[in-house]
């Protein structure tokens, strides 16, 4: 196991993903972690991450310096390297020239350490304002760039290594090799982190936690809750009951799809709560996006609670929380400072229902959840589904949500998805959907004047939904979609394409 100390770099999760891609388990922990806890984890190696602070700022993050005496190999990256240098008696100064972007890295000493097998002159990605002025005793420089003489250093006796650049980003082409060297040559890790091994361990853990009690899970049909449900089902069979809330704000055919997959194909216990009327009643006359979101969230909790109470002896609530949520929620450095949109998650549930929480995916990244899903028998079609927001079509109808508008949107959205898939664009997009506008415009059909709704197509590319770009879909494809929507959905006579990026826009319109 590799322990990663989180000094707040935007690349932290990337370090963890690289380590896991190399089939070694790792955990990200905040710098406040106690030395005793670190010892108890028995890591084979420690990686000190980068971070935005300067080592000489009074409030810069610090981990217990006792880690340097544990006789565990340590790799410091960027701020992590500077922390190591400062802690061990070297000197870090603000450099005259800040260095951002590509740099040519010259390896001066390959040794048997980090640079074994790496090309002598290679590229690396720099992002730092501070630099090493004086190495601590026992260290030697192993690589340099034109601006940074101490771009890498090591003390092979104490097995302490430092890189000023970022080996975890793709812009350091041989970075993965360097991490591989650290894990296997320096730390002596074995490849043991695979989804098959994860399933074995989790199944055992879930069984011993749950015993003969029951678990309830909110199944949405999205990747995370679907995979969590399958994993729990594998562990405890029908002690698991899934609750699917049909809020009436779902895409066409969604409830049937979930029924046939989880009930008929996987033979799981799924209760369907049909609550469209409850949601639409609560949304009557509401046009403010935040109010809509809050109402949908509140009614969801009520309906779920009602349904779950019908199951006897439930002690646990399972959720498909992923590792990034866990890391971000406890990070002192990250996290959104302003609420842009109140996300509809099931956060209020455990408190209200007095249930214990089980989060079987809480140590996994999204790409691992997909691999796990495949291992558990989920089709590619399900694994690669676009994200769908909890408040569903409710936030894709601008203005009041009514049955009539839902029906228009559902039809238009189904056409869009059908065409996007047929043109083989689905896998290339982060999301694609239709938004129904509260505006009407004049059109002509046959010899008749029409005065009907406007639909907007939204299709974006993105890596993580934090930023997104509008997709450059071929004009012919857009034309075909617009044509079909206008011809087939009575009530829509105009289609527009959204060409805004995030930021400053957002992906969803509300």
Q: State how far the alpha carbon of 414 is from the alpha carbons of 408, 420, 478, in Å.
A: 10, 10, 14
d(CA 6, CA 358): 25
Answer for which of 73, 218, 391, 394 binds ligand XMP (CB under 6 A) is: 391
Q: What are phi and psi of 486, to 5 degrees?
A: -65, -35
Q: Is 26 assigned a catalytic role? A: no
Q: Is 168 assigned a catalytic role? A: yes
- Report if residue 321 touches ligand XMP, rule: CB under 6 A: no
Q: Smaller CB distance to ligand XMP: residue 341 or 385?
A: 341
In the complex, the smallest distance separating the C-beta of residue 295 from ligand XMP, rounded to whole angstroms, is 12
Q: Is 166 assigned a catalytic role? A: yes
Give the residue from 95, 96, 109 showing the smallest Cα distance to 161: 109
State the number of binding residues for ligand XMP (CB under 6 A).
13
Restricting to residues 427-466, which ones interact with ligand XMP according to CB under 6 A? 431, 465
- Report if residue 366 touches ligand XMP, rule: CB under 6 A: no
In the complex, the smallest distance separating the C-beta of residue 286 from ligand XMP, rounded to whole angstroms, is 16
Using only C-alpha atoms, what is the Rg of the chain?
A: 26
**Cis peptide leading into 504, omega within 30 of 0?**
yes
202 assigned binding-site residue:
no
Q: Smaller CB distance to ligand XMP: residue 127 or 432?
A: 432
334 assigned binding-site residue:
no
CB 26 within 8 A of CB 19: yes
Q: Which two tokens stand for residue 351?
A: 């408190």
64 assigned binding-site residue:
no
Provide the total of helices (H) and of strands (E) in the chain, helices listed first. Answer: 15, 18
Phi-psi bin for 449: left (phi > 0), alpha (psi -120 to 50), beta?
A: beta
Q: State how far the alpha carbon of 47 is from the alpha carbons of 75, 298, 490, in Å.
A: 5, 42, 59
- Report if residue 108 touches ligand XMP, rule: CB under 6 A: no
In the complex, the smallest distance separating the C-beta of residue 13 from ligand XMP, rounded to whole angstroms, is 17
CA dihedral 427, 233, 344, 467 (to 10 degrees): -30
- Report if residue 508 touches ligand XMP, rule: CB under 6 A: yes
Q: Give Cα 404 to chain centroid, integer Å.
A: 34
Report the relative pairing of strands 314-318 and 270-274 from DSSP bridges. unpaired
221 assigned binding-site residue:
yes
Which residue carries 């105009």 as its tokens? 494
87 assigned binding-site residue:
no
Candidates 29, 44, 99, 168; catalytic one: 168
In the complex, the smallest distance separating the C-beta of residue 484 from ligand XMP, rounded to whole angstroms, is 23
Candidates 26, 124, 166, 187; catalytic one: 166
Q: Give Cα 225 to chain centroid, integer Å.
A: 14
d(CA 410, CA 488): 12
- Report if residue 362 touches ligand XMP, rule: CB under 6 A: no
- Report if residue 291 touches ligand XMP, rule: CB under 6 A: no
Answer for which of 158, 341, 366, 374 binds ligand XMP (CB under 6 A) is: 341
Answer for which of 80, 389, 417, 453 binds ligand XMP (CB under 6 A) is: 389
Q: Smaller CB distance to ligand XMP: residue 341 or 366?
A: 341
Annotated binding site: 220-226
Annotated binding site for ATP: 220-226
Write out the residues near ligand XMP by the rule CB under 6 A: 341, 343-344, 387, 389-391, 431, 465, 502, 506-508
Report, as residue numbers or ranges, the catalytic residues.
Answer: 78, 166, 168
């Amino acid at each position: 196991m590799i322990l990663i100390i989180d000094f707040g770099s935007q690349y932290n999760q990337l370090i963890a993903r690289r380590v896991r891609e190399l089939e070694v388990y790792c955990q990200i922990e905040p710098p406040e972690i106690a030395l005793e806890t670190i010892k108890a984890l028995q890591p084979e190696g420690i990686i000190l991450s980068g971070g935005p602070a300067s080592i000489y700022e009074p409030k810069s993050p610090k981990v217990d310096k006792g880690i340097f005496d544990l006789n565990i190999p340590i790799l410091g990256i960027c701020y992590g390297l500077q922390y190591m240098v400062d802690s061990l008696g070297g000197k870090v100064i603000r450099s005259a020239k800040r260095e951002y972007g590509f740099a040519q890295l010259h390896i001066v000493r390959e040794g048997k350490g980090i640079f074994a097998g790496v090309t002598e002159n290679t590229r690396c990605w720099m992002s730092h304002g501070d630099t090493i002025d004086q190495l601590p005793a026992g260290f030697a420089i192993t690589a340099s760039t034109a601006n940074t003489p101490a771009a890498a250093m090591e003390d092979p006796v104490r097995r302490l290594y430092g890189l000023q650049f970022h080996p975890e980003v793709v812009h350091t082409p041989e970075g993965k090799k360097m991490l591989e060297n650290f894990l296997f040559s320096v730390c002596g890790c074995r490849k043991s982190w695979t989804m098959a091994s994860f399933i074995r361990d989790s199944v055992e853990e879930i069984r011993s936690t749950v015993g003969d009690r029951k678990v309830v899970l909110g199944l949405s049909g999205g990747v995370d809750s679907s995979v969590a449900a399958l994993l729990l089902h594998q562990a405890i069979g029908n002690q698991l009951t899934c609750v699917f809330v049909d809020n009436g704000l779902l895409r066409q055919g969604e409830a049937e799809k979930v029924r046939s997959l989880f009930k008929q194909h996987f033979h799981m216990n799924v209760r369907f709560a049909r609550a469209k009327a409850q949601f639409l009643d609560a949304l009557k006359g509401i046009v403010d996006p935040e109010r809509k979101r809050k109402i949908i969230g509140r009614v969801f909790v009520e309906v779920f609670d009602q349904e779950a109470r019908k199951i006897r002896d439930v002690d646990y609530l399972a959720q498909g929380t992923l590792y990034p949520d866990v890391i971000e929620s406890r990070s002192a450095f990250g996290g959104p400072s302003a609420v842009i949109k109140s996300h509809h998650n099931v956060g209020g549930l455990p408190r209200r229902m007095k249930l214990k929480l089980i989060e079987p995916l809480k140590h996994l990244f999204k790409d691992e959840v997909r691999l796990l899903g495949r291992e558990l028998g989920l089709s590619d079609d399900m694994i690669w589904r676009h994200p769908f927001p909890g408040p569903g079509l409710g936030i894709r109808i601008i203005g009041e949500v009514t049955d009539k508008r839902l029906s228009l949107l559902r039809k238009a959205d189904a056409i869009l998805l059908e065409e996007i898939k047929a043109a083989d664009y689905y896998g290339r997009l982060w999301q694609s959907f239709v938004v129904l506008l509260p505006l009407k415009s004049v059109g002509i059909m046959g010899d008749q004047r029409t005065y009907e709704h406007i639909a907007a197509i939204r299709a974006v590319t993105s890596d993580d939904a934090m930023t997104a770009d509008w997709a450059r879909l071929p004009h012919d494809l857009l034309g075909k979609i617009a044509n079909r929507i206008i011809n087939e959905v009575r009530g829509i006579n105009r289609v527009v394409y959204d060409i805004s990026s995030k930021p400053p826009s957002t992906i969803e319109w509300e």
